[in-house]
């Protein structure tokens, strides 16, 4: 659907259709829960016009206090020790209410003490917490999500917060003004942007709340904000909206006119403004969110495709590894990130070493060959031979990189997909069409023409001259030709000796950059997969591998006590058609799903609403 | 490929002389020395190596055509957005065939239907396979000097007037049907840059292509395609089932291409021709096509 300009209602209808289709694909892949999430988020955005604002940050940055300050009343528990242990959804309603929402949507009323206990994570529960408030500061189109700290020592809590990322529409990242932008916060911000699909053309909004600004001397505040803008330029190229809040002060004295309190009021006004843009923002957010779902499903299909090609025993081993690794829902992001970074560095280093070694070997071999080869083989065959040698080496190097990248992926998520293989195959395809690495200029025309002229002159004199001249030419012409040819070869060799080292340096530098681009793209894809699937990663991987195992015929158990195997003729008539291999059929269906997902991505990227008339 | 599709033709013989004889090589090397410099300039200003996702579909298409016609893979260069005045597909290369380039205008090619695109790419690949890249290079390089260019046009005339036919045949084999091939033949003869070699006239080329369309070679390729269509692989079967369930999802380009080819299979398609997988008895032997063409051109 190229560049479809649709009316808002048509766009909403199209997005609903695409969401249903994606949910259906997720179900076909054995991931019904993912499908339900896709549908639920689409309904929330398009039917209920609810903009989800996630309030995120490290522990004890004052997230709950900031929400209380925005709402103008202390509805959420806040205190000295980490207080939020569960996700709390805060929405506008006619009456104040605290609820536990069961997975089937059933609401049950909670007493304030019980609600506070559950919100602090002191007691396990099934479902989610909902707080309704008639506060005029929370517009009806916005729902605030209070989250546990992203660096909570209880890993499960931090996972909950990060798991909310792909479903958010706007993020308020709460930072401590006294120790602003730690490395972990920048890394989290990067993950958040991946989960949202960036902030360009996705409708996503990122706000930074620089909390506890009252603890920073007034004179230092502008330089602090400058520092933030500078640090975030690499991560977030556009302008970042910063609010220098004093949540505690604003919460204790709602009518305060201090700088920090005014900034809280400004943040509140920004949320009101966001609520006014839901009609335009939410369809865009839906489209971006569906695109991210397509990306996630494509990662899943690549995992499934490889699993379907595994032998039964190997598949069962991987399935057991995934079950064991994710049995406790423990997704240690720091450990995975460290594994990925170390693995990438190791791969890059070994790739560089291999290229340097091969370059030295190739150059020595070319220069040695130059001394032996004649004019024709140097000018005509050598460039092609160098290209062949280079491609041959690259094939081996790419295969080594594939194994290394798959091992890296297995180290991170205990299984792997076809992504590395596909990406490197694409890279190889491009490299195969780049042409010879070394261009050798042909010998000079003068020498060539001289050789030709001597031959013609000699023949003419032989025919038309006298015997003495003929004898002289018989001796002189071949000698002159030999001299000129030898000179021609020498010129070519000199040119080659000058050209080859530079050409090889350029070529190997390009080759290394190309291979590292493929490695980096694969590593970025792995990170993206982990961020998008997140706390569902273990469940999704198990479901995918189990689905693949269901198509894979189990190996017959070895039983030596049985009768010896005898070769017998088949019982069925020769014309009987063998039943189709279920794995082959499943793989073909998977390829079709992948093609449809690619089409959906393309269609979604071209969806744009028609601007409404003024 | 050229030996099979244009057997004993003068095309191959003449270009073998151009690319291998000492006399011709002496002349060609004067141009080739300049080609090395021009090639570097082109890579800086107008062309780019195939990189990333944009080039991928074209590379896959070229691989498919080279497998179908059993050709060798060329070096591929894409026109950069600022490049102007290039044909859709241009073969270029040195006289030693050690660095043959296929320059493609990816943006304009992407807008064509698949058989049309296949014709142009295969035509370019056919030129390279027959050693014509040096002819195009010689004209391209000499174009900077008007007098040298005029002299080269004159000198190369016996080569350039016979260079198009084999490449057109390769194009038809890859396109599969005559109508898209004829459309693209007309397009490839229009709006050519001033440096372009003076190939045979469009009516001559079209008539030669019509004759080749009746040959057993084309009939064999068509029957093998029909067989593949009637006995699809599992992947294709599943895809067809999907499309049957959701007919609206069929891409527009494919629909257009199917309609095009359905309308215009005409010239050589007798009823019995489309019935089975066998090559029809009344299909022409290739020698008959060659004989008519060489007689018309008066090159014997």
Q: What is the ipTM of this complex?
A: 0.72
Give me the mean pLDDT over the B150-169 stretch: 90
Q: What integer pLDDT is reported at residue A161 of this predicted model?
A: 60
**Residue B163 and residue B167: Cα distance in Å, rounded?**
7
Inter-chain touch B33–A441, beta carbons under 8 Å: yes
> Do A370 and A496 form a contact (C-beta atoms < 8 A)?
yes
Strands (DSSP E) along A405-534, which ranges? Answer: none
Nearest chain A Cα to B63, which residue? A429
**Residue B126 and residue B11: Cα distance in Å, rounded?**
12
Q: Which residue has the tokens 């004159």?
A: B154
> Do B4 and B287 form a contact (C-beta atoms < 8 A)?
no
Question: Minimal CA–CA distance to A202: which of A123, A284, A132, A290?
Answer: A284
Backbone angles phi, psi at A171, to 5 degrees: -130, 130
Task: Please state, as a whole number, how many other Cβ atoms lie within 10 Å of the Cβ of residue A41.
Answer: 22
pLDDT, greater one: A80 or B110? B110
Kindly tell me the sign of the dihedral angle through the C-alpha atoms of A367, A368, A374, A377: negative
Instruction: Give chain A positions within 8 Å (CB) of B63.
Output: 429
Alpha-carbon distances, residue B199 vs B12, B15, B119, B162 (angstroms): 15, 14, 17, 7
**Is B155 at the interface with chain A, CB within 8 A?**
no
Q: Please, what's the b/e burial string for B139-156 (b: 16 or more CB within 10 A of its CB; e: otherwise)?
A: bbbbbeeeeebeebeeeb
**Residue A196 and residue A205: Cα distance in Å, rounded?**
9
Nearest to B33 among A435, A445, A580 (CB): A445
Three-class SS of residue B92? strand
Pairing of strands B101-104, B89-92: antiparallel
Q: Which of B96, B125, B233 to probe by mutation at the A interface, max A CB count within 10 Å?
A: B96
Q: How sure is the predictor about B149, in pLDDT bands with cuts at 50, 70 and 90? A: confident
**Is A602 at the interface with chain B, CB within 8 A?**
no
**Is B54 at the interface with chain A, CB within 8 A?**
no
Q: In what order do the strands lie in the sheet with A128-133?
A: A107-109, A97-101, A128-133, A88-92, A142-146, A51-57, A170-176, A205-211, A241-243
pLDDT, greater one: B267 or B233? B233
Q: What integer pLDDT is reported at residue A404 of this predicted model?
A: 96
Q: Which residue has the tokens 């190939």?
A: B199
pLDDT, greater one: A393 or B21? A393
Task: Please state, as a whole number, how many other Cβ atoms lie within 10 Å of the Cβ of residue B228.
Answer: 12
Backbone angles phi, psi at B222, to 5 degrees: -65, -45
Inter-chain touch B99–A435, beta carbons under 8 Å: yes
> Do B163 and B127 form a contact (C-beta atoms < 8 A)?
yes
> Do A130 and A99 form a contact (C-beta atoms < 8 A)?
yes
| Residues paired with residue B92 on neighbouring β-strands, in sequence order | B101
**Is A452 at the interface with chain B, CB within 8 A?**
yes
Q: Where are the alpha helices (DSSP H) in A327-418?
A: 333-372, 375-376, 382-413
Pairing of strands A142-146, A170-176: unpaired
Q: What is the pLDDT of residues A298-329, one digit of tens each?
A: 999 999 999 998 888 899 999 998 888 877 65
Element holding A291 (H helix, E strand):
helix A278-309
Q: Which residue has the tokens 């194009």?
A: B171
Q: What integer pLDDT is reported at residue B253 of this predicted model?
A: 39
Here the tokens at position A327 are 């049995």
Q: Where are the alpha helices (DSSP H) in chain B?
A: 2-5, 10-20, 22-45, 52-69, 106-110, 114-129, 133-142, 146-155, 157-160, 164-175, 178-188, 202-213, 216-230, 234-245, 252-263, 271-275, 286-297
Question: Minimal CA–CA distance to A376: which of B29, B135, B143?
Answer: B29
**Residue A138 and residue B282: Cα distance in Å, rounded?**
83
Q: What integer pLDDT is reported at residue A296 of this predicted model?
A: 93
Q: What integer pLDDT is reported at residue A148 of this predicted model?
A: 81
**Is B51 at the interface with chain A, CB within 8 A?**
yes
Mean residue pLDDT of chain A comes to: 83
pTM exceeds 0.90 for this model: no
How many cross-chain Cβ pairs, A to B, lie less than 8 Å apart?
A: 85
Contacting residues for A516 by C-beta, under 8 A, at least 6 apart: A348, A351
The crossing angle, in degrees rounded to 10, of helices B234-245 and A582-606 is: 50
SS (H, E, C) A538-572: HHHHHHHHHHHHHHCCCCCCCCCCCCCCCCCCCCC
**Is A422 at the interface with chain B, CB within 8 A?**
no
| Residue B136 scores a pLDDT above 70 | yes
Q: What integer pLDDT is reported at residue A547 of this predicted model?
A: 92
> What distance in Å separates residue B293's CA from the closest CA in chain A?
34
Q: Which of residues 84-113 of B touch A (CB under 8 A)?
A: 94, 96, 98-99, 101
Q: Which residue has the tokens 């003076």?
A: B198
Inter-chain touch A449–B49, beta carbons under 8 Å: no
Instruction: Give chain A positions within 8 Å (CB) of B238.
Output: 585, 588-589, 591-592
Three-class SS of residue B222? helix
Nearest to B50 among A430, A584, A596 (CB): A430
Inter-chain touch A426–B56, beta carbons under 8 Å: yes
Stretches in chain A below the pLDDT threshold 70: 1-5, 79-85, 152-162, 328-331, 554-579, 608-614
Mean residue pLDDT of chain B comes to: 80
**Residue B172 and residue B169: Cα distance in Å, rounded?**
5
**Residue A561 and residue A554: Cα distance in Å, rounded?**
20
| Residues paired with residue A51 on neighbouring β-strands, in sequence order | A142
**Is B242 at the interface with chain A, CB within 8 A?**
yes
> Do B5 and B215 form a contact (C-beta atoms < 8 A)?
no
Three-class SS of residue B83? coil
Here the tokens at position B10 are 């003068």
**Percent of chain A at pLDDT exceeding 70:** 90
Element holding A173 (H helix, E strand):
strand A170-176
């Amino acid at each position: 659907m190229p560049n479809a300009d649709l009316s808002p209602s048509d766009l909403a209808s199209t997005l609903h259709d695409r969401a249903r289709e994606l949910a259906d694909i997720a179900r076909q892949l054995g991931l019904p829960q993912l499908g339900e999430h896709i549908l639920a988020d689409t309904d929330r955005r398009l039917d209920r016009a609810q903009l989800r604002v996630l309030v995120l940050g490290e522990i004890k940055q004052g997230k709950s206090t900031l929400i209380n300050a925005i709402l103008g009343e202390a509805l959420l528990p806040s205190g000295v020790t980490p207080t939020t242990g569960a996700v709390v959804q805060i929405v506008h309603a006619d009456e104040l209410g605290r609820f536990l929402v069961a997975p089937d949507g059933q609401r049950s009323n909670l007493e304030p003490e019980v609600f506070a206990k559950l919100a602090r994570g002191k007691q396990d529960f099934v479902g989610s917490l909902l707080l309704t408030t008639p506060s005029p500061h929370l517009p009806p189109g916005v729902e605030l999500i209070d989250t546990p700290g992203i660096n909570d020592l209880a890993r499960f809590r931090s996972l909950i917060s990060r798991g909310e990322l792909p479903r958010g529409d706007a993020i308020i990242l709460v930072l401590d003004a006294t120790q602003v932008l730690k490395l972990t916060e920048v890394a989290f911000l990067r993950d958040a942007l991946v989960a949202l699909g960036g902030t360009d053309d996705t409708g996503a909004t990122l706000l930074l709340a620089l909390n506890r600004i009252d603890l920073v001397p007034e004179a230092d505040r502008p330089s602090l904000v400058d520092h933030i803008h500078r640090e975030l330029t690499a991560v977030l190229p556009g302008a970042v909206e910063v609010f220098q809040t004093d949540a505690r002060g604003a919460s204790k004295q709602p009518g305060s006119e201090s700088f920090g309190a005014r900034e809280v009021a400004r943040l509140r006004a920004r949320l009101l403004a966001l609520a006014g843009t839901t009609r335009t923002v939410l369809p865009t957010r839906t489209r971006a969110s569906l695109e991210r779902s397509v990306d996630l499903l494509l990662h899943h299909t690549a995992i499934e495709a490889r699993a379907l090609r595994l032998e039964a025993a190997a598949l069962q081993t991987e399935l057991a590894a995934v079950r064991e690794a994710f049995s406790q829902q423990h997704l240690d992001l720091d450990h995975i990130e460290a594994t990925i970074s170390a693995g990438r560095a190791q791969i890059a280093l070994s790739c560089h070493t291999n290229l340097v070694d091969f370059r030295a070997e190739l150059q020595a071999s070319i220069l040695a060959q130059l001394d032996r080869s004649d004019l024709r083989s140097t000018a005509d065959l050598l460039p092609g031979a160098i290209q062949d040698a280079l491609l041959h080496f690259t094939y081996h190097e790419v295969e080594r990189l594939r194994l290394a990248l798959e091992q890296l992926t297995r180290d991170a998520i205990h299984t792997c997909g076809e992504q590395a293989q596909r990406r490197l195959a694409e890279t190889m395809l491009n490299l195969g069409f780049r042409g010879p690495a070394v261009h050798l200029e042909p010998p000079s025309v003068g020498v060539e023409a001289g050789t030709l002229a001597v031959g013609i002159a000699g023949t003419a004199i032989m025919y038309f001259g006298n015997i003495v001249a003929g004898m002289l030419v018989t001796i002189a012409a071949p000698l002159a030709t030999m001299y000129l040819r030898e000179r021609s070869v020498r010129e070519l060799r000199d040119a080659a000796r000058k050209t080859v080292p530079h050409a090889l340096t350029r070529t190997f530098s390009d080759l290394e950059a190309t291979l590292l681009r493929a490695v980096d793209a694969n590593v970025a894809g792995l990170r993206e997969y982990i961020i998008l699937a997140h706390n569902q990663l273990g469940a999704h991987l198990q479901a995918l591998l189990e689905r693949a195992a269901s198509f894979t015929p189990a190996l017959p158990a070895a039983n030596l006590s049985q009768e010896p195997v005898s070769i017998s003729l088949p019982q069925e008539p020769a014309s009987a058609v063998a039943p189709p291999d279920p794995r082959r059929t499943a793989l073909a269906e998977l390829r079709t799903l992948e093609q449809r997902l690619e089409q959906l991505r393309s269609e979604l990227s071209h969806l744009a609403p028609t601007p409404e008339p003024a | 490929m050229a030996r099979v599709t244009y057997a004993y033709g003068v095309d191959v013989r003449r270009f073998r002389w151009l690319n291998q004889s000492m006399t011709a090589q002496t002349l060609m090397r004067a141009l080739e020395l300049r080609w090395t410099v021009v090639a570097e300039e082109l890579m800086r200003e107008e062309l780019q190596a195939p990189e990333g996702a944009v080039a991928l579909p074209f590379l896959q298409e070229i691989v498919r055509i080279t497998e179908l016609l059993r050709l060798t893979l060329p070096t591929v260069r894409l026109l950069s957005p600022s490049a102007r005045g290039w044909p859709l597909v241009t073969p270029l290369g040195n006289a030693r065939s050690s660095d043959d380039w296929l320059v493609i205008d990816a943006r304009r090619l992407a807008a064509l239907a698949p058989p049309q695109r296949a014709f142009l790419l295969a035509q370019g690949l056919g030129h390279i396979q027959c050693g014509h890249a040096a002819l195009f290079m010689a004209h391209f390089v000499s174009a900077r000097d008007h007098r040298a260019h005029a002299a080269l046009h004159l000198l190369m005339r016996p080569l350039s007037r016979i260079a198009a036919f084999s490449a057109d045949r390769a194009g038809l084999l890859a396109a599969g049907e005559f109508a898209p091939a004829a459309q693209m033949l007309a397009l490839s003869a229009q709006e050519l840059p001033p440096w372009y070699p003076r190939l045979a006239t469009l009516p001559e080329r079209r008539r030669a292509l019509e004759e080749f369309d009746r040959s057993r070679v084309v009939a064999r390729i068509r029957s093998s395609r029909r067989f593949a269509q009637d006995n699809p692989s599992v992947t294709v079967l599943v895809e067809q089932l999907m499309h049957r369930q959701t007919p609206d999802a069929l891409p527009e380009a494919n629909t257009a291409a199917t309609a095009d080819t359905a309308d215009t299979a005409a010239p050589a398609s007798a009823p019995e021709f489309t019935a089975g997988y066998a090559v029809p008895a009344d299909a022409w032997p290739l020698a008959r096509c060659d004989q008519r063409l060489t007689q018309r051109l008066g090159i014997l």
